[in-house]
Chain A
Amino acid sequence: MLQIKNLHANIEGKEILRGINLTVNAGEVHAIMGPNGSGKSTLANVLAGSENYEVTEGEVILEGKNLLDLSIEDRAREGVFLAFQYPVEIPGISNATFLKTAIDEIRKYNNLTELTPKQFLDLMKEKASILGMDEKLLSRAVNQGFSGGEKKRNEILQLLMLNPKLALLDETDSGLDIDALKVVSSGVNVFKNPNNAVILVTHYQRLLSYIIPDFVHVLYKGRIIKSGTKELALELEEKGYDWIKDDIDLVEEAKA
């Protein structure tokens, strides 16, 4: 489904991604782990099209299309979804209006008719109930005055509503208590199916107890330095990142 080839990206001239290679097949869950500042969030944001970064090299192919040629909104319409680490508050626009607008624009792009208000409301109620969200939150302005947990839950509601091919979850577990973590994870597990894929960016292993990854990758200094299965995450939890980092740092020092 997704092939990332030799992806390089800068922010303000500083290279953050230094040649990422990753293939994600439909039906898979990949976890991207790594110490702070390794480029995990950058990867998720670059895939979604953030203009804060400049892609200097590489390709990102989603089902045959190079995402890097597409605008942010067209990537979303092609099936990319980014759940934000810090979701944005939009006063004056209700959650329902926001989601209806998004769904209709995505459907229009894919030559589908708009949802009727009834279809839309039924869908939203169904998805909200999966996440145990109060219906009042749906008529409230997007994320305005939401607690940290409510904001993350709202991101997962959007994920379920927009039903993308590729879900990028950027530190979705950060700032969540255990109950909220369980709800958010169960939402992601409901989303998962053989035709879509999930990339989880996370610093900690605990999310991976609820969303079981097929693959775990360690990102460090803008490169994937180690890949494995879910056991790797447990090993990282136990030993920390230093044992892998040291190897890389030694190699880099030797080169210098």
Chain B
Amino acid sequence: MENSLNKGLKEYLVENFDTYYNNLNGLSETFFGEAKKEYYEELKSSDFPTLKTEKWKYTNLNEIVKENFIPATLNKTIEIFDDLSNNFLLKSTESIKLVFVNGIFEEKFSDLSKVPDGIIIKNLSSALKENKKLVEVHLNNILKDKSLFNTINNVYANDGLFVYIPKNKVLEIPVQILHVTGNKESKVMSVPRNLIFADSNSEISIVVNYKGISENSYLMNALTEVFLDSDARVNVYTVQDENESSFHIENTVVYQLKNSNYSNYTFTFGGKITRNDLSSSLQGENIETHFYGLSLGKGEEHIDNHTFVEHAKPNCMSNELYKSILDDKSHGVFAGKILVDKDAQKTNAYQSNKTVLLSKEAKIDTKPQLEIFADDVKCSHGATVGQLDSNALFYIKTRGIGEDTAKSMLIRAFAADVIENVKIDELRDLLNHKIFEHLQKVEI
């Protein structure tokens, strides 16, 4: 199915649409299946962003755009893996578990036995058939951005995570999602599509781990919509461990109603190019929104975080804290936009981006963007870039602690105010451990 002639990813995806569409089977009768042709028209008429596109000016997509990544939904060349049920991040914390291999649900490694009555947690392709109404109301409801990556997801996605938490329900245990991606024979594209709907006064925490399996290059193109009704509380933790030849493009779109509280955590440990778009639209009063990010870059990795917070109503608070530790020739990007509409009086909006550069060739581009149309608001943004504090390094070494350990302690210290906000104990310990592990691999 792979074209010998390399016309580029978009052409490849356009050419293969009919084959894909004719093999949708039961899905073609669902509303999402029926809409595919419409998305296909969008696909034909749009182009990949270039360095001239403002939102993409720091991230060169050439390596992705010219490659024929085969959507896993087009050609299900799933390798047989050993038991994946032990590969979840959290081992000792009781949880609900879903495995996706190249974006497609693998029931045999998943464990949905602990989903309480009334709460729906399943894969999207099942939900499309079994929970038609819920999916139809919310899928593509909050997503407005018609970027080509979103369109590709709309065309080729037919599986992912579906969550519905009814009113007043609190899910006490976290949901763990394991995305295993890669294929030895071909360059694969994973297109998971996730939909999370938290009804009034409900609560849920989700831990997503992206893991590269083969050494072969792949493209992860994930799209998630999260809807929080009034008083809902949602925490989403994303731990990105893609392999070093692979690309991770992720877009998370959040919509919040009054009194809701959303926290998002993005931890990036690996991937050749990682681009995370995260946005929330605050459409009620007394909303809280927290975005945390921690990136560890090495080699020639490129890690780009773009955030957007829209304050539409008064008395809301948003807080963003993004930290990067960049070594070798790695390149970080942070661009955070805050929009305060004219009705959004008494807004508190904070944004902070801090970077430690461990090598002379590592670099960070940081771009805050505040657009404020209300007059009674507190908004602040700040960015710092520096090296490890030499006085602190001296202090630690005078206690007999060697250079490498001293540096990793300082890096952990730097990351502490992000890690400390993680509310799951095992995850917090594991992240601290991963930082140490990561630092042992890079020469610091």
Contacts and interface: CB of A to CB of B under 8 A. Distances in A.
A141 B395 contact: no
A229 interface: no
A13 to B, nearest CB: 19
Interface in A160-217: 162
Contacts of B410: 90
Given A51-B390, A51-B394, A141-B416, A90 B399 contact: no
A81 interface: yes
Interface string B392-416: 1011111111110110011011111
Interface string B186-228: 0000000000000000000000000000000000000000000
Contacts of A88: 389, 391-392, 395-396
A122 interface: no
A169 B398 CA distance: 13
Interface residues on chain B, size class: 20 to 34
Given A77-B400, A105-B401, A162-B400, A87 B394 contact: no
- Of the listed residues A92, A103, A106, the one surrounded by the most CB atoms of chain B closer than 10 A to its CB is A92
B413 to A, nearest CB: 5
B41 interface: no
Contacts of B396: 88, 90, 98
A91 B416 contact: yes
A49 B398 CA distance: 8
B420 to A, nearest CB: 7
A87 B390 CA distance: 13
A92 B400 contact: no
A248 to B, nearest CB: 31
Interface string A56-84: 00000000000000011101110011101
B401 A73 contact: yes
B402 A92 contact: no
A90 B395 CA distance: 10
B415 A92 contact: yes
Contacts of B391: 88
Contacts of A51: 390, 394
A158 B399 contact: yes
Nearest to B435: A92
Interface of A: 48-51, 71-73, 75-77, 80-82, 84, 87-88, 90-93, 98-99, 101-103, 105-106, 109, 141, 158, 162
A-B complex: 10 closest residue pairs judged by Cβ atoms:
A92-B416, A76-B400, A72-B397, A102-B399, A106-B400, A91-B416, A88-B395, A88-B392, A73-B397, A92-B413
9 contacts: A49-B394, A73-B401, A90-B395, A90-B396, A92-B416, A98-B409, A99-B399, A105-B400, A162-B399
